[in-house]
Amino acid sequence: MAITDKDKGKKGISAFILEKGMEGFIVGKKENKLGMRASDTTQLTFDNCKVPEENLIGVEGEGFVQAMKILEGGRISIAALSIGLAQGCLDASIKYSNERKQFGTPINAFQAIQFKLADMKVNIEAARLLNFKAAYMKDNRIPSLSKLPRLNCLPAKLQKKHPMKLYRSSADMAS
């Protein structure tokens, strides 16, 4: 993305494609993240980067609109990653609750643990269904996708509600 006409505001932003090795375009090292490994994160540096006109994507001035469309699809993908991570955490929590014993009984026999696991399952399923709806709407070009509640809200709520469980399980899965 680059500003191609400052006077036009967001209608003066254009999208370009760059390739590794282009003069002034530096791709940093891939970050080693905990979880979400299917989505690479790296630093991009533009140092006096020269981009030829033929690298313009679409029409000049439509870059902002293109970015918003990509962001919409990206939210669906990131939500799917988060839901998968939450599902992995739930699976690990269920396994652990079967193995861990208290008073000679697996802890999943205790109602408090059952409630926590059920709450996690319900939240994950709600997030999964909301994500399926968003993907369906995007695939079918239904324009009201932006009217859905923030798609990343439920996965973020899961991480906030069960942070230690998610952290422990993510650490276990990463190793």
DSSP string, the chain: -EES-GGGGGGGEEEE---TT-TTEEEEEEP--SS-TTS--EEEEESS----GGGEESSTT-HHHHHHHHHHHHHHHHHHHHHHHHHHHHHHHHHHHHH-EETTEEGGGSHHHHHHHHHHHHHHHHHHHHHHHHHHHHHTT-GGGGGSS-TTHHHHHHHHHSHHHHHHHHHHHH-
pTM of the model: 0.64
Q: Token digits for 172?
A: 């276990």
In one-letter notation, the amino acid at residue 127 is A
pLDDT at 148 over 80: no
With cut-offs at 50, 70 and 90, classify the pLDDT of residue 172.
Answer: very low
pLDDT at site 175: 36
Rg (CA), the chain: 22
What average pLDDT does range 146-157 have in this prediction?
57
Share the mean pLDDT of the chain.
Answer: 82
Instruction: State the pLDDT at residue 82.
Output: 85
**Would the pLDDT of 39 be above 90?**
no
> For 57-100, what is each residue's pLDDT tens digit?
999 999 998 888 888 788 888 888 889 889 999 999 999 999 99
